[in-house]
A = this chain, B = another copy of it.
Amino acid sequence: MDSVGTMNTGQSILCKTSHTDSRPVASSLLVFLLLLERGMFSPSSPPARLLEKVIQYIDLHQDEFVQTLKEWVAVESDSIQPVPRLRQELFRMMALAADKLRRLGASVDSVDGGSQQLPNGQTLPIPPIILAELGNDPKKPTVCFYGHLDVQPARREDGWLTDPYTLTEVDGKLYGRGATDNKGPVLAWINAVSAFRAMEEDLPVNIKFIIEGMEEAGSVALEELVRREKDRFFSSVDYVVISDNLWISRRKPALTCGTRGNSYFTVEVKCRDQDFHSGTFGGILNEPMADLIALLGSLVDSSGHILIPGIYDHVAPLTEEEKKMYKAIDLDPEEYRNSSQVKKFLFDTKEEILMHLWRYPSLSIHGIEGAFEEPGAKTVIPGRVIGKFSIRLVPHMNMSVVETQVKQHLEYIFSKRNSSNQMVVSMALGLHPWIANIKDNQYLAAKRAIKTVFGTEPDMIRDGSTIPIANIFQDVIQKSVMMLPLGAVDDGEHAQNEKINRWNYIEGSKLFAAFFLEMAKLH
C-alpha cells in the first residue's frame, strides 16, 4: 500500500500476540471439520463442498503459487526511480500479469498509460493499466479487484539479508520486494480464481481486475482512466476490493473500514522576496518568521487538541458500537510504544490511542520553506517564509468547511499582530476521509469468509493515513469499496526485508475463494 506521503520510517500498530509463526498451514480436511463443527453449513451443501474442494486445491498447489510469486518478485518493477531500464521492467511486469490473466480465460485490455514528464524535462512512458474481466453473468454480482505490481526501490546493501528480487523462504516467511506490497495479494486473488478454473467450476461471481504499475509513484494516470471507464468497464461493477494494506496484528485477520483524509495547508508570510541580514535589520522589522511562528503556534495545544474554532463540530459522535470495536482489538499499548521508539504517547490506553489515530482529527506541523534549514549558524532574517501543516480529516468533517475555518482562524491571529507583512493561506491538497459501510454485503461476506478460513472474527480497523485509491473508486464509480488486507503487521512494506508469510499468502488465497462463495450466497 501507499498512502499520501508514506515514508519508510513509519511503524504500524503492532499487536500483542502469543502465537508463533510456526503454526502449520491448515489442511483442507481440518478446515472442513471446523466448518462442520461450527454448523455453518451442512456437509452436503454445494458451497461447502465446493469451498472444501477449492481449499484442497489451493493447499495442494501452494508450491506452484509460491513459484509464481517468485517469478513476479524477480521483476524489478520499481516505479520510483525514473530509470529507463526499470521502466522496461515495469512494462515486462504488466505483460507477465496480462498473460497470466489471459491464460485464466480473462479478456484483457492493457490500456496505454501515456507518458510522464519528469521535473528534469525527461519523459518516461507510463506502464499500461490492465483492465480484465472473467464472466459476465447478469445474475451474479461483479467484484472488481484493484492491485498494483510496481514496487518501492530495494537494494541488497540497504540492509536486506537476502536478495530483494529473489523470493527466499525462511521459517515460513517469503522475503522479497513486493511480496506483500502488492504482488502477493494480487496473486492470491488470481490463485483463488485459478482454483475454480482449474477444477472447471463456475466462478461464483463475475470477476474484474484493474491492475496498475504506478501506485508507488502516486498512481499517475489511474484516476483519469477510472473516470474515462466509469460508464464502460466500471458500469457493471458492483463492488471494489482493495487488498493493499496490512492487519494490525501478526496473526489476526483484519478488515479495514475507514481511513482519515487530509487537508494540507500552506501559510506564506512575506515582507519582501529577498532575505535580510539580522545585524543590519534586526530590531526594526516585523520579521516574517516571528509572524509565521505565531500563526503556527496558534493551531494546536500541547495535548494535541486543535485550537481552530469549530474544527471538531462535525466529527462523528462516538457510538457504543464503535467503542466496542476498539475494545475488541488486541493491541498492547506498551509494546506498540516500545516498537515505535517513543518515550510516551499523549494517551495511555489502547482505546484512546486507536481513537486518536483513526476517528479524531489531528494536526501536524511539517516544516517551513524559505527559512534557514541547514546545519550551522546563519544570521539571516528570511524575507518570505511558508509554513506547512496538515489536518487529518475524519467523518463527517467537510473539507471546504475546514478550509474556511483554518483561513478565518489564521486571518484572525494575523490581524491581532498588526503586522505589515502579507499573509496568504492556501489549501494545497485535500483528500476526503473514507469510511466503509460495514453492513454492506461485501463486508458481511468478507467477515464470514474470514471466520470460515481463519476461525476468528476480524479486527475491524481503520487507517490513520489517507489511501487515495479508495476515494477514487468510491467518488468516481460510487460503488461499495472494501479494503481486505492479507499481510501481517510486521510485513515491512516499503522497508528492508519485506516479506509475506506463506501462511498469509496461501490462507489469503483461500480467503478470497471463500469470499467469492459468500458473495454469491448473499446476492
Contact = CB atoms under 8 A, between A and B. Distances in A.
A456 interface: no
A264 B7 CA distance: 33
A279 B6 contact: yes
A280 B464 contact: yes
A304 interface: yes
17 contacts: A13-B280, A264-B377, A277-B465, A279-B463, A279-B466, A283-B357, A284-B345, A287-B364, A289-B366, A290-B300, A290-B302, A366-B371, A366-B379, A367-B382, A369-B375, A372-B388, A377-B388
A48 interface: no
Interface string A374-396: 11011111110000101010000
A361 B347 CA distance: 42
Interface in A45-92: none
A353 interface: yes
B360 A293 contact: no
A337 to B, nearest CB: 9
A501 interface: no
Task: Tell which of A7, A262, A343, A417 has the most Cβ of chain B within 10 Å.
Answer: A7
Q: SS class of chain A's interface: helix, strand, loop or mixed? A: loop
B367 A417 contact: no
Given A286-B302, A366-B378, A373-B373, A10 B281 contact: yes
A5 B373 contact: no
Oligomer: number of copies: 2
A284 B371 contact: no
A262 B375 CA distance: 18
Task: Tell which of A260, A340, A379 has the most Cβ of chain B within 10 Å.
Answer: A379
B284 A365 contact: no
A367 B356 contact: no
Interface string A247-289: 0000000000000101010100001101111111111111101
B284 A293 contact: no
Interface residues of A, number: 88
Contacts of A291: 302
A276 B6 CA distance: 9
A298 to B, nearest CB: 9
Given A291-B302, A356-B284, A6 B277 contact: yes
A465 to B, nearest CB: 3
Interface in A465-484: 465-466
A470 B356 CA distance: 57
Contacts of A388: 372, 377-378
A259 B390 CA distance: 43
Contact of A345 (B285, B344, B381): B285
A366 B287 CA distance: 10
Given A287-B365, A364-B289, A294 B297 contact: yes
Interface in A1-19: 3-7, 9-13
A522 interface: no
